[in-house]
Every structure is written in C-alpha cells, then in structure tokens.
Structure 1
Amino acid sequence: MSTHDDLFDGILLAEERFRGEGYSEGFESGKSRGLLEGRRHGACHGAKLSTEISFYHGFAITWKCLLQNNTDNKSRKRLKALDTLMTLVQSSPHDDPQSAALQEDVEKIRAKFRQVCSMLNAPTDFKDYIKTSEGTSF
C-alpha cells in the first residue's frame, strides 16, 4: 500500500514541485535579464554623460584659443571662467562611475558651462551643439 500512496503523493505534490521549479527558473531568468538590461542602460547613460563632459571640455578649449590674444578686461574674465570650467572637467571623477561625488561634480560643471555661455552670449543647451541637419548626432 505504500507504493500506491507514493504514486498518489507524487501526483498530488507535482503541482507544488513544478511551481517551485518554475519559480526558481523564472527567478534566475529574470535576474540574468535584469543584469543585462542594467548593463545596457548604464552603458547608454555613461556614453551620454561622457559625450556631454567631452563637449564641455572641447568647448572650453576652443573658446580659450579664440580669446587668448585678447587683452581687454572682459576677455580676461571670460578666460578665467573657461579655465575654471576646464579645471572642473579635468578634476571630476568621471572615470569612476561609482563615485559619490560624480553627480554633484557634473552639476557644478553644467552650472559653470551655463555661466560661461552667458558671458559669451552662446546658447546654453548642450544638445543644441550636437544636432545635425539629418537629425542624428555623432
């Protein structure tokens, strides 16, 4: 009679066993998919941030080259602000994505960029600089 009971126990407990196996398989599948999506999102966000920071650096270098031969007081103030922007970009921990200061430093860089743009009468939206006629960016 114990073989007969084991057969029915196996049938009755099959639902519970399959539910447990399904949960485990689903959990592992979701975990690996979440990691892949997280990496993809992080790489995309990091690429955008890197593009933005690189733009600010190039912007500062270009304007510094354009203004370096001017000796008037206004140009000296602009050059000082550009130097400060370059220093902020170069000293920010953008190489370390887990840095606690990264977000704060990026906000400082953006604020200094807006200030420099105001001094130069240039558009302040970073995205205005990377648009092309085809609607794609580099």
Structure 2
Amino acid sequence: MDQKPQDDIDFLEPSVLLDETHYEEGFKNGYNDGLVTGKEEGRQVGLKNGFQVGEELGFYQGCLDVWMSVICIDHNAFSARVRKNIEQLAALVRSYPLSDPEDEQIQDIMEKIRLKFRVITASLGAKLEYEGRPASSKHDVEDLSSV
C-alpha cells in the first residue's frame, strides 16, 4: 500500500482552516447584526423621507387651497391659462401615490408637480418656493422652457 509519510502533511492546513472558520463566523455575526441595525436604519430613513415628501406635498396643497379659494371668490382673478394649470397641479397632487412608495413613477410625478408649480408661480409673478427643497438649479430652469 502506498501511504503518504507523515512529513508530507501540510502543517499549515489547520491554520488555514482556523482562518476560514473565523472568517465565516465573523461574516455570520456581521450579517446578523446588519439585519437588525439595517432594518432600524431603513425605518428611520423611510420616516425621514416620508415626512419630507408629506411636507412638500402639503405645501403644494396649501397653495392650491389658497388659489382655489381666490377662484371661488373671484372667478376672473386668474387667466384661463393659470386656472387650467392650477387644475392640472391639483390633479397631479391627487395622483401622487401616498400609499405606494415603491411606485416606479413616484419621482416622475413629484418632478411634474414641482414643474407645474413653478409654471404657475412664474405666470403669477410670485416668488413662492418650497423652502425644504434646494433652490432651483439650471436644470430646473431648462425644464420650464419645455412646458
């Protein structure tokens, strides 16, 4: 029988196996800790982002409420074009999927709301801006020209 002599056994093998065992154990511990803290961090980020979206939508709805009240008092207070834009903004705000944050069109809808709001305020010559959002950028101004 052909049997390997004891000298040929790799004396480093137990060290390599020990290293792999510690690596796997560390990975499992880190993964489990990440699951716990990741869920909590995700919850906090979700609450923060949800609050910001709700605050911004509330700002637009508040402006709409004022404009709609003005229209009720004096139907000719705004031009037909501005009234049409106000109605379109109201429809966009209503269409925002509050109960479906994973909707793929959520960002597009918010951008349309922001753009329509800027169109209305520009038409009215008003300098209204939602303070929780950074000031208009060059990209935003270019978007206005396409409406």
Tell me which of 109, 112, 116 is aligned to 2:113.
109
Letter in 2 for 1:29: D
Equivalent residue number for residue 56 of structure 1: 60
TM-score by length of 1: 0.72
List runs of 5+ in structure 2 lacking aligned partners. Answer: 1-13, 133-147
Which amino acid letter does the alignment assign opposite residue 26 of structure 1?
G
Higher share of residues assigned helix: 1
Instruction: Please list the CA deviations of residues 21-60 of structure 1 after superposition, one character each: whole Å capped at 9, or x if unmatched.
Output: 2221112112321222122112111110111012111211
Shift of 1:79: 2.1
Supply the distance in 2 between the matched residues of 1:125 and 1:17 (Cα, whole angstroms): 58
Shift >6 Å, 4+ stretches: none
Cα gap change, 1:57/1:75 in structure 2, threshold over 3 Å: closer, same or farther? Answer: same
CA contact (8 A) 2:70 2:77 kept: no
Q: How does 1:90-101 map to 2 (within 5 A)?
A: 90-101=94-105
Percent of matched pairs sharing the same residue? 31
Contact kept? 1:81, 1:112, Cα under 8 Å:
yes
The CA RMSD measured in Å over matched residues stands at 2.5
Residue equivalent to 1:47: 51
How does 1:1-138 map onto structure 2 within 5 Å? 16-72=20-76, 74-127=78-131
Q: Which runs of 5+ in 1 are unaligned?
A: 1-10, 129-138
The count of residues paired between Structure 1 and Structure 2 equals 120
Look up the equivalent residue of 2:67 and give its one-letter code.
Answer: W
Higher relative contact order (CA 8 A, sep 6+): 2
SS in structure 2 at match of 1:126:
coil
**Structure 1 residues 34-43 or 16-25, which shifts more?**
16-25
